[in-house]
Chain A
Amino acid sequence: MTWRRDKTLWGLTLGLAALLLLNFVVPDWFTNILTLSLARGSVALGLLVLWRCGLISFGHALYFGFGAYTVGLMSRYLGITDAFLTIACGVVTAGVLAYGLGFLLRQYRGIFFALLNMAFSMILYGVLAKLEELGSTDGISLEATTYLWYAPLGAENKTALFVFAAILTWGVAVLVHLYLRSTLGHMTTAVRENEIRLGYLGYSGERAVHAKYVISGLLGGFGGAVAALTIGHVDPDSMVYWPVSGDFVFIAILSGTGNVVAPFIGALMYELIRTYAFDQFPGIWQLIMGGTLLAIIMFLPNGLWSLVERRRSRGGPGSADRLQAREEEA
């Protein structure tokens, strides 16, 4: 498939343009929601990459929190507030951690993979929540973000961060999409379907899983760093505790694994439902979130993206085959 005919790349680019334009119309608080959905969407994208090979992590708050705390600690101890530098460091540290832990985790499948991730994320939680130097349960407040020489304040900073995050996320999503199209990317499905046969073909399933794990870690660190800058504060309970990991899996399920665009749509939906529920029904917002998740699992098991695919597949005879071909391409 040529670059020009790749609908996903066009979709991502159009989405970026639409977001940047939308930014002029919507109020400030909505800009924040958009930035946060980009952050959470990135983490969910990492889970999508893993899920393609049949693995789910119940502990990706580990990388989210690692990225966020890298940004927070840089602001607190080094006085560094530059968005380029802090996000880069958040991504790299999370990636290094994922690379190290990947040697262990690549040997595990199924529920053990999910639980080992959870154990590691709870170790980080335990350290962060108890150590005074790392902010303890109160967390760390960040200084205002700067962008090289540009140091905007207040609402302008929110807009600047949003534009910055949107462009970066676009780049990240394009890279992941190109990766999934490559040979190594196609091996995801092979690992899920029959890892032993993959081994006989001369590929290492473990190394494929390791690569995907590092990618998901990098994406987690990226999401965490962006979220930290957006919220302006990092703390263990809202960034590293186990329900946070659950929320990421929630977004992944809500989105479906069909396409790299899906996690961002899912994350936006998630943020909107959450904000609306919290605002209108503060007493029962968790109930609404849980109910939504249950409804998705029961009635839309392949996520929101399956709606897009269903619409596409209504194209007459043989459309089911085309749908399958498209899924394999994507």
Chain B
Amino acid sequence: MDPELLLIILVDGLVYGSYLFMVAVGLTVICGVQKLLNVTHGALYAFGAYLAATLLILYFRLDWPQFGAFAVMLLSALFLGVVFGLIIERGLLRHLYHEDEHIIVLATFAAFLVLEDVLLLIWGTDPYLAPEPLGLLGATEIAGLPFDNYSLSMVLLSAVVAAVLWYGLNRTQFGKLLLAVIYDRELAQAMGINVNRIFLLTFMLGSFLGALGGAYQAPAISVQPGIGVEVIVLAFAVVVIGGMGSIPGALIGSVIVGVARAFAVHQEPALELFVIYMIMAAVLIVRPQGLFAPAKPRTI
């Protein structure tokens, strides 16, 4: 194959993969610690995109330094993560931890439906556009095609998020507590770890990451109804491919999905979705625990 096309596919794939990683990483953190698949994550992504788009439109009307736009995105994600994390975890999930895992997924699906309509009530059905931050960073030419630096910066952001999470999990006290809860919740509780607090903080962290994914993506897309529905199932695919609860898994999974999708888009566009879910099914068939799930002793 033409090496220039290959380069373009790789760059495209990395950009799309980092977009997927930003959404999937929050999902996988929640999944790893609380052992639940959280459908509301899609709504958090959508809320992040909407809030950031709205605030960015307002921000650029002021005559403040333009690079403050990035702070706007970060703060809106932080706000959403804390508020929604608190509402969903305390208000809903707290009462359901003893239930069957399927029931919890379904409860988050119900909450997702509710949040989708709340979104429509607040922002209506019109698309929101806030492309100004794209212009701030300019563009780079790769293999004769212009790529805007904003999209490329998403790869950087993903790398930073992955590094910070890795450091936080493996080198800080909170990370050690988290690992203890991941390995054995009851034993951790018996040792005096406040598992309820850990759950709440984890859920807030995960929700923040989901909202950040949406907020950072907002300038690059047209923010409109339905983006949450679309993204959550993709994030599910990535989390399953990488292994539920594994951060390196989510990283590799999103790169695999991103590059495979880029191949499909450039070679045979009709196969775009087919390829993604084919990989998901293949991974579930060959290695259902995911490519990077930690080894576990057999219980039987």
Contact = CB atoms under 8 A, between A and B. Distances in A.
A213 to B, nearest CB: 15
A147 interface: no
Given A286-B117, A294-B110, A242 B233 contact: yes
A289 interface: yes
A142 to B, nearest CB: 24
B37 interface: yes
Contact of B113 (A104, A242, A293, A297): A293
A243 B218 CA distance: 24
Given A115-B236, A127-B274, A287-B114, A58 B95 contact: no
Contacts of A127: 273-274
Given A126-B274, A130-B269, A130-B272, A58 B110 contact: no
Given A111-B37, A111-B101, A123-B274, A293 B281 contact: no
A244 to B, nearest CB: 11
Contact of A119 (B95, B116, B118, B237): B237
Contact of B277 (A108, A114, A119, A253): A119
Nearest to A289: B113
Interface string A60-82: 00000000000000000000000
A191 interface: no
A297 B103 contact: yes
Interface string B230-244: 000100110010001
Interface residues on A, range: 35 or more
A131 B285 CA distance: 26
Nearest to B109: A246
B92 interface: yes
22 contacts: A108-B288, A114-B102, A122-B276, A123-B278, A126-B271, A129-B273, A130-B270, A130-B272, A242-B233, A243-B229, A249-B102, A249-B109, A250-B110, A253-B103, A284-B121, A285-B117, A286-B113, A286-B116, A287-B118, A289-B113, A293-B107, A297-B96
Top 4 nearest A-B pairs (CB, nearest first) are: A126-B273, A290-B113, A293-B110, A287-B117
Interface of A: 56, 58, 104, 108, 110-112, 114-116, 118-120, 122-123, 125-127, 129-131, 196, 241-243, 246, 249-250, 253, 283-287, 289-291, 293-294, 297-298, 301
Given A58-B105, A111-B101, 20 more contacts: A112-B288, A114-B102, A115-B284, A119-B240, A122-B277, A123-B278, A125-B277, A130-B273, A130-B274, A196-B300, A242-B233, A249-B102, A283-B120, A285-B117, A286-B113, A286-B117, A287-B118, A293-B109, A293-B110, A297-B99
